[in-house]
Amino acid sequence: MLRGALVKVVVDTNIWISSLIASSKTAVGLIDAWEKETFRLLVSEQQIVELAEVILRPKFCLMYRFSPQEIKDIIDSISAKQNGLR
């Protein structure tokens, strides 16, 4: 690997969900590292759609009480920082 090149990472939808509900310190740490841009996120449109579908499930909404704006912000944040896969 070239010096200074960021590692490319694909984060599974389950990891995103775990980080949102804080049930996994490892998942939260991974997302914190992504927010600090310590690696390059690779994500597909299908994965973003899947994440939105999971977050919008009634059970998830009732249990974790995310507002529609919070859900939009989560999806927008991932979409904005992604380096897409096709």
2 domain-assigned: no
Contact 52, 13 (CB under 8 A): no
In a domain, 30, yes or no: yes
Residue 39 corresponds to which tokens in the numbers above? 């690696």
* Residue 67 located in a structural domain: yes
Q: What is the pTM (predicted TM-score) of this model?
A: 0.73
DSSP-derived secondary structure for the chain: --TTPPPEEE--HHHHHHHHHT--HHHHHHHHHHHTTSSEEEE-HHHHHHHHHHHTSHHHHHHH---HHHHHHHHHHHHHH-EE--
pLDDT at 84: 55
Span 22-40, pLDDT tens digits = 767 888 888 888 888 888 8
Domain assignment of residue 64, given as a range: 8-80
Question: Is 3 domain-assigned?
Answer: no
Q: Is residue 38 included in any domain, yes or no?
A: yes
Q: Is residue 1 part of a domain?
A: no
The count of structural domains within the chain is 1
